[in-house]
Amino acid sequence: MEEAPAAPSQRTGQKSHRSHHTDRTTVQSARRRGPVRRGKAIMPPLAALAFTEDRRRSTGESHQALCTLLGEGGQALPIPAARHPEQAQLETAVFLACCKIGGLSEHPLGIVHVRPEEDQLTIRVVNEPYVVHYWAEFLLPRLSSEDALDPRDQVSGVAGLRYRREGSQICLHRPGMPARIMLTGFNPWWWQRIADRLTADYDLLQSEPDWTPVERAAYLATAATSFEPASLFSPLLRRIRATAGPGSINSTDAWSAIGGNFRLETTDGPPCPDLIRLLGNGPTGLGWEVDDKSCTCLCDHTHTAVGCNIDFREPATGRFVYYSNTKWGRTLDDRRRQTISEMNRAAFT
């Protein structure tokens, strides 16, 4: 039932939505709602719209949902970081696991929007069974190879991850840790049906009430390396919509590169100036600095290159994030719609 993951990058040889700009409908809606109250103060609607803009473009949240969070300081609404290291580590593990989904919809990783809070992250996933199947398959842990020497190779999925249903949402957590990711946007029974099927095929560890020894060993081995820094990938997941382009098909991928650096790759991603603002020097950005850039976004003539490249430097560590955006111009054509229909039918069988 699976569609092939993202194709190899032409630049690296390794594996591999809408416009971010405020649309006319959002502006008109803000005007109709009138001034926004911030405590005892009243804020003009267009000013409130400006203060939520960068966060909306990074998370996919609506202006209406963010208005109540505006303070009285008259500044851009920030994107909160995870309070606990365990929360950031869980977000990192989920992000890197689900990057394998490739280009299946207009939403990167199948994420429509995220709601970042200090103690949890809520992720709205595309309301399609095949996307839910991919998430469950990539995340739910099971033993993969008892003969492997490294415990990280003995567990597939996210080590220690368990789930439970909370109302209409699926809560992802790790026993004994202050970490929660809430999945929403789809029928929670889909998740359970898919998990039951995966349990029959793979003997999932979901029934274990606590960490198994091999999961604990895999977790500690990962934490002891610098290949999956939570300080990098957790904030990126909380800004995942910043990597989405204006087209009908998007994909985002990230992985470790040689020399302790990292690669971030999009296909049909956003214009480079938008990405630089939202991940770099914008009011809700990560402070990434542009070290080098090869951009064709604003050119009115053809190039031999099929995309853009930006070398970001993370100031806190000095490590590089090598970004590439391959422009394939994919569309949601009849063939892709047929493929999606087939994958939806196969998601429960």
Where are the CATH 3.30.460 domain residues in the chain? 230-326
Q: In the prediction, which pLDDT does 19 show?
A: 42
> Has residue 27 got a pLDDT over 80?
no
Class of domain 230-326: alpha beta
| 3-state DSSP of 312-349 | EECCCCCCEEEEEEECCCCCCCHHHHHHHHHHHHHCCC
Instruction: For 201-216, write each residue's pLDDT tens digit.
Output: 998 999 999 999 999 9
pLDDT number for residue 11: 37
pLDDT digits (tens, 9 = 90+) for 279-299: 999 999 999 999 999 998 876
- Work out the widest C-alpha separation in the chain, in whole angstroms: 65
Q: Assess contact for 131 and 112: CB atoms under 8 A.
A: no
For residue range 248-271, what is the model confidence (pLDDT) as tens digits?
888 999 999 888 899 999 999 999
The answer for residues whose C-beta is within 8 angstroms of residue 236's C-beta and 6 or more apart is 95, 254, 264, 279, 286
List the 169-173 sheet strands across, edge first. Answer: 111-116, 121-125, 180-184, 169-173, 162-166
Q: What is the pLDDT of residue 21?
A: 43
What is the model's pLDDT at position 296?
86
Note the pLDDT tens digit of each residue in 127-185.
Answer: 999 999 999 999 999 999 778 889 999 999 999 999 999 999 999 999 999 999 999 99
The model's pTM: 0.86
Looking at residue 105, its pLDDT comes to: 80
Cα gap 212→200, rounded to integer Å: 19
The amino acid at residue 111 is: I
Structure tokens at 286: 């990560």
pLDDT at 300: 56
Q: In whole numbers, what is the pLDDT of the chain averaged over residues? A: 87
- What's the pLDDT tens digit per position in 185-241? 999 999 999 999 999 999 899 999 999 999 999 999 999 998 999 999 999 999 999
Residue 295 corresponds to which tokens in the numbers above? 């951009």
pLDDT, tens digit, for every residue of 39-75? Answer: 545 677 888 899 999 999 999 999 999 998 998 767 8
- The 8-class DSSP code of residue 68 comes to T
Positive/negative CA dihedral, 37, 39, 40, 44: negative
Residues in the chain: 349
Beta bridge partners of 252: 266
C-alpha–C-alpha distance, residues 281 and 203, integer Å: 46
Of 303, 321, 304, nearest in space to 312 by CA? 321
Phi, psi (deg, nearest 5) at residue 211: -60, 140
Asked if 244 and 250 touch (Cβ cutoff 8 Å), the reply is yes
In angstroms, how far is CA 69 from the centroid of its own chain?
22
Determine the distance from the C-alpha atom of residue 319 to the mean position of all C-alpha atoms in its chain, rounded to a whole number: 21
Helices (H), the chain: 24-33, 45-59, 63-67, 85-98, 129-139, 188-202, 213-223, 230-237, 272-276, 334-346
Backbone angles phi, psi at 163, to 5 degrees: -135, 160
